[in-house]
Amino acid sequence: MNRKTVRAWSFAHKWTSLVSTAFVLMLCLTGLPLIFHHEIDDLLGAHGAWTPPPEGAPLTSLDAVLASALAERPGEVPIFMSFDEDRPVVNVTTGPSAAAAEGQMHFASYDWTSAAPLPPHPEGGVMDVLLKLHTDMFLGLPGMLFLGLMGLLLFAAVVSGVVLYAPFMKKLDFGALRLSRSRRVKWLDYHNLLGVVTVAWLSVVGLTGVINTLSTPIIAYWQADQLAQMTAPYRGLPPARAEASIQAAVDAAKAARPGAWVQFVAFPGGSYSTEHHYAVFMQGGTPLTKHLLTPALIDARTGELTAIRSMPWYAQALLLSGPLHFGDYGGLPLKILWALLDIVTIVVLGSGVYLWLSRRRAPATDPVVAELEPRPVLAPAE
């Protein structure tokens, strides 16, 4: 590369790194415990003290579970019903209206074999705070979009760092660590080596994080696009009362997609449904397909299946990015790998800040300053 090109890449790497570092460091620190969110919840007893029924115990009707949930919350309406994968538990979300804001919703769990309520979930715990900080910094959609921008800057910093690393290594062996040199030279080598080690992981986590921050506009577009097409015959009709059995609605959806597992049901009027349907979202049975949802629309008055269609590519990308972002595909071994790479990334970020701050205080003849200057070929330190 000529001097002008190297200078441009160096400028891009420096400023994309500096602008995004503080926020990316926050995301790494909060994301580290979130990788083990489920394990920490189990350890802290977040699910409450509950003895599961014997394996193979018959399940009660979902209508009985729904009736039990509404009896606990008089005056409210159902919004969502979801199902635990590893235990016979039904979760019911209610609110004052189907379009209630998140803060107005109430979440409760019920034994699927008896419809009895389970111990309440603790609210406002440390994991919930970390998740909210990691997701939107308590700022809602603006916070999510801002963090998405930081994710794009992070990706630009990774790409520019790789481009600059190639000419830097022309005078050194790949991954060389000059441990006999000054502290700043050693940290430069650590920064470069660990940066290369984490480049693929950091790119994947950064880009999936960006996709996650776009969840609200992606779902809104799906509603205006695919969901509107699926419900075109109902356009202009008044909202329907949910008179059909929720158990019958789930059975009708499962009959249309044999072997699928129902992940959750959105009731009429909610953000994932329409004014006329139960939206039954089903997933596959493999580690990959269990994150790919297929919605089936069931007429809320008659209980008949009216439409079923796989989610479009942009919605599938969103569904896949969430578990990939937190390493939730390969069980505990992959989560441990994700955590180790997260810790290495924290070291890369910290060393980058150290090198920049110390470079500003160092004389122009300093060997690390010389190596960080945008030159066609960067000479090794003396």
**Same domain membership, residue 207 and residue 132:** yes
pTM: 0.81
| pLDDT tens-digit readout, 329-355 | 767 888 999 999 999 999 888 888 888
Would residue 52 count as lying in a domain? no
Would residue 27 count as lying in a domain? yes
Query: What distances in angstroms separate CA 180 from CA 88, 159, 364, one per listed residue?
Result: 60, 29, 21
Place of tokens 């690390």: 368
What percentage of residues in the chain have a pLDDT greater than 70?
86
Q: Where are the alpha helices (DSSP H) in 198-330?
A: 199-213, 215-222, 228-230, 246-256, 313-325
How many domains does one find in the chain?
2
**Same domain membership, residue 274 and residue 137:** yes
Average pLDDT, the chain: 84
Domain that holds residue 96: 57-119
The distance of Cα 38 from the centroid of its chain, to the nearest Å, equals 14
Q: Classify the phi-psi angles of 124: left when phi > 0, otherwise alpha if psi is within -120 to 50, otherwise beta.
A: left
The residue from 99, 119, 139 where one domain ends is: 119
The residue from 119, 134, 149 where one domain ends is: 119
pLDDT at 180: 64
Q: Give the mean model confidence (pLDDT) for residues 93-111.
A: 91
The residue from 68, 94, 119 where one domain ends is: 119
Q: Classify the phi-psi angles of 45: left when phi > 0, otherwise alpha if psi is within -120 to 50, otherwise beta.
A: left
**Same domain membership, residue 313 and residue 197:** yes
pLDDT at 382: 34
